[in-house]
Chains A and B, each alone.
Chain A
Amino acid sequence: MALPGVTNRKRLVALLLGFTLIFFALTIRVGYIQLVWGVDLQKKAADQWTRDLDVFPRRGVIKDRNGKVLAQSATSESIAARPSQISDPQKVTSLIAPILGLDEQELYKKLTNTSSTYVWIKRQVDRETANKIRALNIKGLDFTEEPKRYYPNGSLAAHVLGFTMKYAEPGEGLKGQEGIELYYDKYLKGFPGKIVMETDAAGREMPYNVDRYIPPIDGLNLVLTIDQVIQYFTEREVNNVVAKYNPKKVYAIVMDPNTGEILAMANWPTFDPNDPPRDVGDFEEMQQYVKNFACKDNIDPGSTFKIITAAAALEEGVVSLNSTFNCPGYKMVDGQRINCWRAGGHGHETFSKAVQNSCNPVFMELALRLGKDKFYHYLNEFGFGQPTGIDVLGEERGIIMPKESAKNVDLARMGFGQAISVTPIQLITAVSAVINGGNLMKPYIAKELREVVVDENGQETERVVKTVTPQKVRQVISPETSKIMREVLESVVTDGSGRNAYIPGYRVGGKTGTAQKYGPGGKIIPNKNISSFIGFAPADNPRVIVLFMVDEPQAPVTFGSIIAAPYVKNILEDTLKYLGVEPVFDEETQEDMQQVEVPDVIGMSLEEAAQALKEAGLEYLADETGTVVKDQMPKPGAKVISGTTVLLYTERGAESQPEEQAAQPPAEGMVIVPDVLGKSIREANRILVSEGLRLRIEGSGIAVGQDPAPGTQVELGTEVTVRFALPTEGQQNGVRRNGE
Chain B
Amino acid sequence: MNKFSWYEAKSVEDAVKQVNNTVSEELYLPSGKAAIFKSGGIDVLDLVKEGLIQPKTIVNVRNIPGLNKISFDDNGLRIGANVTLAEIEGNEAVKTRYAALHEAVAHAATPQLRNMSTIAGNLAQRTRCWYFRSSDHPCFRKGGDKCFAKHSETGQNENHAILENDRCVSVYASSVATALLAYQGSVMITNGKMESRQVPLSEFFVAPDQDVSRENILEPNDLITEISVPAPDMNTKSYYSKQVQRASYDWSMADVAIVAQMNGDTCEKITITLGAAAPIPIRAYEAEKIVLNKKINEERATRAAKVAMENAKPLSKNSYKLPLFESIIKQGLLEIA
The answer to whether A and B come from one shared complex is no
